Structure 1
Amino acid sequence: MSERATAVAHSNIALIKYWGKRDEGIALPATSSVSLTLDAYSTRTTVEWGRDTDTAELDGAPLAGEAGARVTRFLDLVRSLAGRSDGASVISRNTVPTAAGLASSASGFAALAAAASSAAGLDLAPRELSILARKGSGSAARSIFGDLAVWFAGDDDASSFAEPVTDPGLDLAMVVAVVDAGVKTISSRAAMRLTAETSPYFPAWVDASRTDFTDMLAAIAASDFTRVGELTESNAMRMHASMLGATPPVSYWQPDSVRVLHLVRDLRSTGIECYATMDAGPNVKILCQRRRMESVRDAVTAAGITRVTTSLPGPGVAVSRDDE
């Protein structure tokens, strides 16, 4: 049985957002969500058990402080499941900017969950792996799966998991306008907690998002790209509105963020159908169909955004072990 495994997981961008927890201890979300996994951004993580203590490295640098402690807490979950007490070495490489609002924690903890559990000798079903990944970073539950995925809020630990959603022919793509790849001034976790605790608009966000979730699943099933896009954009703007109502207000937007949002509306007026979404960061993701991807990319580049990434739907997590 292998004591070492490597996993590759891709980041995902929520079309119906996850923002707010009902239970922080086990990362139970306030609402269900829908996401698109991207082929452009990924994390590759190798875990080897049999060490005296835990060590973690990201992009060639040791993970210390809270980041390192977060990895150790996650490894504790795997140790508990596997009935072991030894330490592990964790080595990760990101192709996605870390902590920039581009879902690096989603790909990171999905890869860690898959590699650590496999190396520890566990053979988890996809749903079990999704539940485990959720406890590292909520959105990681969705990165276990490729293409479109749904994460059910659930009522308890066992019922809060992600699963794939069949795409009946939407032919989705995403253009990412990287406004700022730097580390965010306030983490998603802290901003989420602040919004839930202090924003008077948060309950309205939760109510509206529950309706958006149901409507999104219906739009996907009907292959209605226009409705999928409209829901994607409005859901993101409502999330950010709830954040602006926090005390103090939370805003990740930068001047170029607003400029890209206006550009997306301008593109729609010229017949290039696309829709904007933003997470906890300044970068704008533009949902379109594959045939429009290059036109959208060219327009964003022409507007002066120098770092633009195009992406098609990405795969689910993949694991390889030394004994294979």
Structure 2
Amino acid sequence: MNRTFGEFSAVAVAHPNIALLKYWGKRDREFVLPVTGSISMTLDIFPTTTRVTLVPGTSADRVTLNGRPADDETFARVSTFLDLVRDRTDRTDRAMVDSANTAPTGAGLASSSSGFAALAAAAAAAYNLKLNARDLSRLARRGSGSACRSVFDGFVEWHAGIGSGRHGDNSSFAEPIETPRWNPALAIALVDTGPKAIPSRTAMQATIQSSPLYLAWAFSTLHDLPAMRAAIRDGDLTTVGAIAESNALGMHATMLAARPSICYLSPPTISILHRVTELRKGGVAAYATIDAGPNVAVLCDVSAASQVLKELGDIDGVLATHLARPGHGVRVYDGNVA
């Protein structure tokens, strides 16, 4: 993580991450502490750029998203997050926040992970709050759990930590997983770029409270964590992919079994899953993962990416495809991004 500090203003750029072992459920909602750990890949596409500028003498924060004033809910989340930063410094100045997403917000493409990673880094720099990478991940987690993983490059593990409250806060952080020289890629198929009918936070809580499958999925995730960590370190695409696909489908099964049922999967989503299975039968190592939304990311070797992208693009209902490789964690600047 590169960091330089400006005079009460900073710009940060962060990329979203796609979880291969999912974060789905909080044990402590105030401190955003997860029920299980998770593992993700930070992407090299869809960056969020956020500028935070302190405005002494004003009485309220100002927040714009993609050039427009933020809605009330987004404003409240951002301002509350800035309060966390102000509480750790000797500055109480309000701030102007300008953020631009290149991924569709709220469509299940992890835009909140890049958004709050960029906000955390830019706000810390603007308020001159000097944090190491681990503590920055802990701060970003308070805005959006998955944001803690976007602090780091490539493959990242978010440790669930132990306990709740301050103790849990100190023990729950993200860190990178050392990887060999291998060539993983994610072929991303967009089938819907609009906001989700049910926000992830709402669906997550409803699943925990009502799904009879949730605990079984959580225990399975705990078992899968060391296996996936080892497979990433070994560059074992087949094992990483098989675990990721099973974990994602299990997460969606918990939602389908919730009362009332929650379904993010659309007909094109199901068609993609069938096509991925057909690719494997044809000898292509390809594995699907789906966040809380209808869009699908397919893990494969970069050598197979062109074929996978073509297969996905031929499916009725797929609006666009994108290729992602492991990308950089958050970067902070004291002026315009070069």
TM-score (norm 2): 0.94
1:78 aligns with 2:85: yes
| Structure 1 residues 156-178: Cα deviation after superposition (integer angstroms, max 9, x where no partner) | 10110001111113311001100
In 1: Cα distance, 2:236 partner to 2:327 partner: 21
* CA–CA distance in structure 2, aligned partners of residues 193 and 263 of structure 1: 31
d(CA) in 1 for partners of 2:116, 2:240? 27
* Superposed displacement of residue 86, structure 1: 1.2
**Within the alignment, does 1:47 sit opposite 2:52 as a pair?**
yes
Given the alignment of the two structures, is residue 25 of structure 1 paired with residue 30 of structure 2, yes or no?
Answer: yes
Query: Which residue number in structure 2 is paired with residue 151 of structure 1?
Result: 158
1:118-147 per-residue CA deviation (whole Å, 9 max, x = no partner) reads 011111100010000000000000000111
Structure 2 counterpart SS, 1:35: strand
- What is the CA–CA distance in structure 2 between the aligned matches of 1:170 and 1:251, rounded to whole Å? 35
Kindly report structure 1 stretches of 4+ aligned residues shifted beyond 3 Å: none
Q: Is 1:299–2:304 an aligned residue pair?
A: no
Counterpart pick for 2:326 among 307, 313, 319: 313
Within 2, Cα distance between the matches of 1:10 and 1:189?
A: 20
Are the aligned partners of 1:170 and 1:220 in contact in 2 as well (CA < 8 Å)? no
User: What CA distance in whole angstroms lies between the structure 2 residues aligned with 1:223 and 1:112?
Assistant: 32
Output one character per residue of 1:238-278: Cα deviation in whole Å (capped at 9) or x when no partner.
11111111111111011000000101001111111110000
> Cα offset for 1:322?
3.9
2:165 paired residue number: none
1:51-70 equivalent positions in 2, closer than 5 A: 51=56, 52=58, 53-70=60-77
Which whole-Å CA distance do the structure 2 matches of 1:100 and 1:293 have between them?
23
Matched, 1:118 2:130: no
Where do 5+ consecutive residues of structure 1 fail to align? Answer: none
1:323: Cα distance to partner? 11
Paired-residue identity, %: 48
Residue 268, structure 1, aligned to residue 280, structure 2: yes
1:234 to 222, 240, 246: 246
Partner of 1:2: 7
Amino acid in structure 1 at the alignment position of 2:85: V
TM-score by length of 1: 0.98
Give, as a single letter, the amino acid of the residue that structure 2 aligns with 1:104: S
1:236·1:277 contact (CA, 8 Å) conserved in 2? yes
* 1:186 Cα offset (Å): 0.5
Contact 2:228/2:240, CA 8 A, preserved across alignment: yes
CA distance in 2, matches of 1:322, 1:67: 25
**Does 1:182 pair with 2:194?**
yes
Question: Structure 2 CA distance, aligned partners of 1:223 and 1:38?
Answer: 17
Match of 2:173 in 1: 161
Specify the SS of the correspondent of 1:40: coil
Output the CA distance in 1 between the equivalents of 2:16 and 2:235.
Answer: 23
The answer as to whether partners of 2:192 and 2:319 remain within 8 angstroms in 1 is no
Displacement, 1:214? 1.4
Between the aligned partners of 1:172 and 1:59, the Cα distance in structure 2 is 31
**C-alpha spacing 1:323/1:14, structure 2 compared with 1 (3 Å):** closer
Cα deviation, 1:275-316, whole Å, max 9, x if unaligned, reads 000010000110111111111101111224231111111101
User: Is residue 2:16 matched to residue 1:11?
Assistant: yes
Candidates 253, 263, 271, aligned match of 2:265? 253
Distance 1:86 1:315 in 2: 31
Contact 1:47–1:88 (CA under 8 A) maintained in structure 2: yes
Structure 2: distance between partners of 1:64 and 1:299: 38
Corresponding letter in the other structure for 1:95: T
Query: In the alignment, is the contact (CA less than 8 A) between 1:2 and 1:323 conserved in 2?
Result: no
User: Shift in Å at residue 42 of structure 1?
Assistant: 1.1
Q: Quick check: which one's strand share is greater?
A: 1
Q: Which runs of 5+ in 2 are unaligned?
A: 1-5, 163-167
